[in-house]
Chains A and B, each alone.
Chain A
Amino acid sequence: MNVTLHSFLRHWQRAPFQLVLLLAGLALATALWSAVQAINTEARASYARAVDELGARDLPVLTAPEATISLDHYVRLRRAGWQVSPVLEGQWQSGSEAVTVLGVDPLSYPGAPEMSRAAEDNDLDLLALLRPPGVLFAHPETLPDLDGPYHLLPMEQLPPGVVLTDISLAERLLDDVGRLSRIVILPDQPASLPPLDQIVPELQQNAASDSAMADPERLTRSFHLNLTAFGLLSFCVGLFIVQGSVTLSVEQRRGSIRTLRCLGVSAATLMQALFLELILLALLAGAVGLVIGYGLAALLLPDVSATLRGLYGAPVEGSLTLRLSWVLSGLAMAVLGTCIASLQAFIALRRMTRNLSDAAVTRSAGRTYAMCGAASVLLIATGWAALNLVQGLLGGFMFLAGLMLGAALPLSLVFYGLSSGLLRLTRAPLLRWMVADSRLQLPGLSLSLMALLLAVATNIGVGTMVSSFRLTFVEWIDQRLAAEIYVQVETPKQAERVLNWADRNGARALPQFRSDSRTATAPLRIYGVVDDPLYRDNWPMVRGDGNSWHRVYEQGQVLINEQLAHREALRIGDEVALTPTWTARIAGIYSDYGNPDGQATVALATLQDRASQIAVTQIGLVSPPGVSLGALAGSLRRDLNLPARAVVEKNTVRSASIGIFDRTFVVTGALNILTLAVAGFAMLTSFLSQWNRRLPQLAPVWAMGVTRRQLAQFELLRSLSFAVLTFLLALPLGLFLAWVLLNIINLEAFGWRLPMFLFPSDWGRLFLLTGVAAALAALVPVVRLLRLSPATLLGVFAGDR
């Protein structure tokens, strides 16, 4: 066995380049996959830390869909024996920052031990938790934003922007006494309790808490699914490389394998030796891949966390932790992937040990094509079934997976058909030879061509989605930012000063009053706006007519955002419950990208009439004719002594928003390019693995007078033709992918549908890139052909005898 393995490994000494290719392919595949995993794990761990370590994760909660929860509800539950814990949540303006205050009862909250520990670590008497002035716990990043006579303690487990405190202090901060946001049902309950719907029929039990702490997971699920899908795709593409290299290596060791068999080494030992060799290589490449993956993740993570934080407000720290589970799963993926990718090599080895001829292999190709076709139909059908049967995002992604793989599988069948058709059409002998020769190469090339197809289609699909989204987003933000200057105000008094100032200086003021409420499933923010032509002219409506604003101002109707409409299946003319006592008719639906929650807009007078606790945090200003924005902003800052960041011009907000948007898709872009690179690499290995077999086929053509130069040109042309054809097939697939992403995945993930735009110039660039990849892949064989000595070609004939 030792000797066998040793002679197997000796092969790599003779073919170091091949070894590098194999290791690089596997390492690249592992790297991309594990980088994505590391990013996902890190993000999830950040969310989980928030909820998990505070112990409230996955505990069911009681909420009030149509009413507020009163303290009485809580006491009634407790008096009936239910072990429950109260939570009061709300927005608190601390200094210039708004934070989410989470008020809990440390005597029953599942995360109370963390609070005690944090207090003890800071040498604070534990009773201070319950007594004035009170203790605020926050992420170290958030602590500097907090203000007031409270004990401020760091708690790493909390998401940035969330402040955990005793419920008595939360009531004072939020000025909200005797009310609860939700009631957590604790895990251990006494026996034979009366059912909940008898005690608190007006409350509704939700499977899992949807608090500020649990939100990130829900919000960012599609983002992470996207990343995972990308990672898996890269991994698959990487495996094509491995497949090519391993098959090639077995092919090249035909001689030594025969010798070993002659020396009496059993077929089983040979198989074991190959298996051992592959495991060794997989572990080695997997380790290298993990290192690269870790570096890649560390490089991308700051962007990802900035994205998640910017777009969703989800807490992700920018640093990476090395987890054992990640290392092990990365290595396992490498080994498993190698085994799958080497199946063909094992089959080849088996055949070799039985001395089967190559001809038999080629003859069975027809059957393989038929099986590919059947599998393709099956995959697409399964995907379609999943879309209809599996709810939500998962169904969408299963459909995508089925569609992509199903579309890629019959690729060689298509090429086979195309080349056969071409053969019938053409009479030019050299061209006929080239086509026939290419058709002969199809079985060996098909996998790498599939990889290329997938990479190109994904590029087009994801690129179209991102660009469509960006175009819509930019247009939307221009409409939405109707005013020219935005002033952040902290107190009603300050708001009044700004409004008075605007009045004196002839600027039109658009104050944004708001009130926070809740629907059955999620928070709802209600805005009250003044009657201004800017709203009537600019507001980005998805559904509505010229009369929508009229009905808002004159009849007390409401505009809601697309997310709310989708989630609650609302249409124009329906009634929506804004608060327990306030139901309004819907006059229009507007787009509201980047916001996970429900939002409603009513006339200011209506809001003041119907809602309690109205806050004003932002005032938009439109400058009077002839006054520049800069001058207006400057005098506003000066006159009211406002800090610079409290007065922001429209363009600043606009570019900041677009900046956040672009950052979101930096990762997508990077992965796009990497996938394409891997696909090009796969083609290269396929070409190389066919090299040895090609010589006997080229030699007769050369002998008939076709020069090596011509042969090299044919080689290049062949590679480019395959790439072009693949691209042409990938284009419709990519566009369909984009349509699915925009209309199914986005709707499920965020609640908004996006219009699809086409970007032919992007396709052109991608076309060129594909061509370059194909040309580069053909480069090594081409150079070898050019340098091939006539003796080698002649040797083929000598070897035949």
Chain B
Amino acid sequence: MTDRSNLLRTLVALLSLPTLAVAQGYANLGSEAEGFAVPSPNGTLSFPADHAAHPDYRIEWWYLTSNLRTNSGEDLGIQWTLFRSALAPENTAGWQSPQVWMGHAAVTTEDDHLFAERIARGGIGQAGARTAPFSAWIDDWEMSSTDATLDRLRLKARADAFSYDLQLNAHGPLVLHGEQGYSVKSADGQASFYYAQPAYSVTGTVTLPDGPVEVTGDAWLDREWSSQPLAPDQDGWDWFSLRFDDDTKLMGFVLRGARADFTSGTWISAEGEAEPLAPGQFAAVPQRWSDVGGRDIPTAWRVSLPARDLSVTVEALNPQAWMGTTFSYWEGPVRVTGSHNGTGYLEMTGYDD
């Protein structure tokens, strides 16, 4: 993964949650949106159509994280992400297509973190996302269903050092974040469309360098698309998806800004009802920092949501879960203890300077 081309980095800067885009001077691109569609509070999501790609929006992803346990009781996490980035709001066929796709896959155990990356041009079938039946893929990495819903998925990825093949069964409804899926990302009003399926149970096989292991556990799928990067002063984010023992769930994020941090999130009941959190309700404060390849990364957090009497410590299963991909960030499974106990995933961007 070393020595990747600068072109990829530039592409990824456009694509990833725009922290880097800001750093690299693409902040102004998004505010004008340059012919791209822009999320509007009046838009309503419609399924299954919205499971597929939205080529008229600049950026989009299918983001699955899973907390698993092996037969012998060891915890591990896997990540499967498909990013789409459009260089122009078109969807032409063939090499002329301005759509670019990127996949990230990872397996994280307590003492190992393996990851891989795939990049593909759109328009030729090497990568894409469609419904009926649903499939999102890049090369041979695939998240697919036998029908148009996201209820039962098969998830596959393969790299030189690891692979996995998992069955996912949803036991709850889709959750729309923000206002019916319209999720505000800054005080200035930058926003995205954002929904999730946070309640999968998982079985399957993860193949590690030592050989295959059978696993069971839970998974969480996020779907998000937008055309606007963050506000110009925002330089990174800390994103939490937490699953508690009473089957309630919490999604919360902190967008770190020079002026002020912006926090938001969603409280999800055991039945899957979503309650959007107003800015400021969710709070996350770093408690312990780890040296990760020369960077200082907060790998233990105090997360609180006073409205729900929630105050927990969130600790990385493996503090070294650095995704050294073209666009690099920290992403790994976490353990939750305190007023609520459980597991989850943590993503942190903007720490790689």
Contacts and interface: CB of A to CB of B under 8 A. Distances in A.
Interface of A: 71-72, 74-75, 78-81, 83, 105-108, 112-113, 115-117, 119-120, 125-127, 129-132, 166-168, 171, 177-178, 188-192
Contacts of B140: 78-81, 190
A107 B120 contact: yes
Contacts of B100: 107, 130
22 contacts: A71-B124, A74-B124, A74-B126, A75-B125, A78-B140, A79-B137, A79-B139, A80-B140, A81-B139, A81-B140, A107-B120, A112-B7, A112-B8, A113-B4, A116-B6, A117-B6, A130-B98, A190-B158, A190-B160, A191-B159, A191-B160, A191-B161
A308 B328 CA distance: 47
Given A107-B119, A191-B160, A78 B126 contact: yes
A85 to B, nearest CB: 11
B88 interface: yes
Interface in B73-110: 87-88, 94-96, 98, 100
Nearest to A114: B5
A113 B6 CA distance: 7
Given A107-B119, A108-B119, A168-B95, A116 B88 contact: no
A125 B121 CA distance: 18
A177 B10 contact: no
Contacts of A80: 140
Given A113-B3, A190-B140, 14 more contacts: A75-B126, A78-B120, A81-B139, A107-B7, A107-B119, A107-B120, A112-B7, A116-B6, A116-B7, A119-B7, A125-B10, A126-B6, A126-B11, A191-B158
A311 B305 CA distance: 78
A113 B7 CA distance: 8
A78 B139 contact: yes
A695 to B, nearest CB: 72
Contact of A178 (B3, B94, B119, B158): B94
Contact of A171 (B11, B94, B126): B94
Interface string B1-37: 0011111101100100000000000000000000000
**Pairs of residues from A and B, 6 with the lowest C-beta to C-beta distance, nearest first:** A168-B95, A81-B140, A116-B6, A112-B5, A126-B10, A126-B7
Contacts of B96: 132, 168, 171
A772 B50 CA distance: 93
A131 B98 contact: yes
Which of the four size classes fits the interface of chain B?
20 to 34
Contact of B158 (A75, A81, A106, A116): A81
B183 interface: no
Contact of B5 (A71, A74, A78, A106): A106
Contacts of A106: 5, 7
A130 B87 contact: yes
A125 B120 CA distance: 20
A164 to B, nearest CB: 14
Nearest to B119: A107
Contacts of A125: 10
Given A127-B10, A190-B158, A116 B139 contact: no
Nearest to B156: A81
A167 B8 contact: no
Contacts of A115: 5, 7
B197 interface: no
A167 B160 CA distance: 28
B5 A127 contact: no
Contacts of A127: 7, 10-11, 14, 87
B163 interface: yes
Contacts of A188: 160
Nearest to B137: A79
A177 B96 CA distance: 10
Contacts of A108: 119
Contacts of A72: 125
Contact of A131 (B88, B94, B116, B158): B88
A167 B98 contact: no
B119 A189 contact: no
B163 A190 contact: yes
B87 A131 contact: yes
Contacts of A178: 94
A74 B125 CA distance: 10
A156 B6 CA distance: 19
A53 to B, nearest CB: 13
A711 B5 CA distance: 79
Contacts of B10: 125-127
A72 B126 CA distance: 9
Contacts of A105: 95, 121
A350 B159 CA distance: 67
Contacts of B6: 113, 116-117, 120, 126
A107 B121 contact: yes
Nearest to A117: B6
B163 A168 contact: no
A393 to B, nearest CB: 36
Contact of A190 (B3, B125, B137, B159): B159
A534 B87 CA distance: 57
Contacts of A131: 87-88, 98
Interface string B136-161: 01011000000000000000001111
Contacts of B139: 78-79, 81, 83
Contacts of A117: 6
A133 to B, nearest CB: 12
A216 B340 CA distance: 69
Contacts of B94: 71, 168, 171, 177-178
A690 B233 CA distance: 91
Contacts of B160: 188-191
